[in-house]
Chain A
Amino acid sequence: MAKQALKIISGEVVDAVSLSELCRSCDVHADWIIELVNEGILEPRGMTGAQWQFSAVCITRVRTAVRLQRDLGVNKEGIGLVLDLLDERAQLRQLLRQLEPSVVSDDEG
């Protein structure tokens, strides 16, 4: 495939996906997604399964959930806990990065 021949592909920005799109995208069964919703791990908008809209972040959450279950044998209750802790850790790390420069200058002064 010649490099210069590469055509630019335009995608579609995904803000939210339906239950079936989420299942297909993450290669999981709807039953499992419904269990994650019942467990409070995913919070879709809309009342019934057919109307559910999952924010794009749910794609990442479900894929992480699949890996945690497959690789580490974590059950649903554990998946919820791990995902929440990972989110919290990411936020704290971001905060830490913002604080780090001022901590350094304190040491210098």
Chain B
Amino acid sequence: MDFKDYYKTLGLARGATQDEIKSAYRKMARKYHPDVNKDAGAEGTFKEAGEAYEVLKDPEKRAAYDQLGANYQAGQNFNAPPDWDDGFEFSGGGYTQADQESFSDFFETLFGRAQTRGSAQQAGQTFHASGQDHHARITIDLKDAYEGATRTLSLHAPQVDADGHMHVRERSIRVKIPKGVTEGQHIRLAGQGTPGIGQGRAGDLYLEISFQEGSPYSVNVRDVYFDLPIAPWEAALGGKVKAPTPSGSVELKVPANARTGQKLRLKGRGIPGSPAGDLYAVLQIVVPPAKTDGDKELYQKMAREMDFNPRAAMGG
């Protein structure tokens, strides 16, 4: 196990005051909070800062840690010396509402775990409690929303064993993604949360749906939008063009004199449901580059013969 330098984590010197510790933590927490910062490493940094703060904000834990830590460097191999906490008292474990399930082995070796619900304390009594609901996020392709799918998920859930210790248990489940789900909806899996204690019922598992980023389609509730590139003559003359959609290829009728940004609506071709969403093709006129002499000649002919000034409205 590596030694953790909690001062370094918060960017502080060992002599920092309690006020400095608090403000350093608050600053880091605001910056790296996973709800605010979506960078990959943010959550880890946030948790480390939380763990460091949990120790340093509490004068009892801090004093014990200081006495221990003077001889260690961050990352150095560490084993807690026997009776290291002799003479220190931690009132009630000193746990706050912080999410202690995320603390490191290093922390646990030193300060142990808070008593959790359903611990051995209740042994011998008849105790019933409902299990907690769990939440997870599931990223799906738009195609899955159109057609439905099944997904295998790995879930890491904290579990309390018979002695009242917490363990992270990994388990896999196969879940049916029903056709017609959309972003922000949840799928509730009854009884897949924390098991109940005694005769209490098990909690539920909620899966929040989000769509894979980087797809050519954007979604608003059940309406789906995509850019449809067209040639200038298709825009000017109108006519039928073939367009790929999440539910297969369709023929779209482009009106004559179509403009970039114009939306063609395909009713009911959005995400299925009642009512189903609509699919919108957003027209994008693509100007062909003048590569050959023939191309250039065509453009020159247009310039000569067409009465068109795109800057007329600007007074140009």
Contact = CB atoms under 8 A, between A and B. Distances in A.
B204 interface: yes
B187 A6 contact: no
Contact of A59 (B174, B178, B186, B218): B186
A72 B175 CA distance: 34
A60 B184 CA distance: 8
B174 A8 contact: yes
A12 B190 contact: yes
Nearest to A101: B227
Contacts of A25: 133, 135, 204, 206
Interface in A1-30: 1, 3, 6-15, 24-27
A67 B180 CA distance: 30
A57 interface: yes
Given A27-B132, A72-B33, A98-B218, A12 B187 contact: yes
Contacts of A72: 26, 29-30, 33
A3 B50 contact: no
A70 B97 contact: yes
Size category of the binding interface on chain A? 20 to 34
A68 interface: yes
A44 B151 CA distance: 31
A72 B31 CA distance: 10
A55 to B, nearest CB: 8
Interface SS majority for chain A? helix
A30 B206 CA distance: 19
A68 B35 CA distance: 8
Contacts of A14: 185-188, 206
Contacts of A3: 172
Counting chain A CB atoms within 10 Å of each CB, the highest count among B29, B36, B99 belongs to B36
Contacts of B142: none
A26 B132 CA distance: 9
A15 B188 contact: no
A56 B221 CA distance: 12
B207 A71 contact: no
B208 A9 contact: no
Interface of A: 1, 3, 6-15, 24-27, 55-57, 59-60, 63-64, 67-68, 70-73, 82, 86, 94, 97-98
14 contacts: A6-B172, A10-B176, A13-B181, A13-B187, A13-B188, A14-B206, A26-B133, A59-B135, A59-B206, A59-B208, A60-B208, A67-B35, A71-B33, A72-B26
- Report, nearest first, the 6 A-B pairs whose CB atoms are least far apart: A11-B187, A14-B186, A11-B189, A6-B174, A10-B176, A57-B184
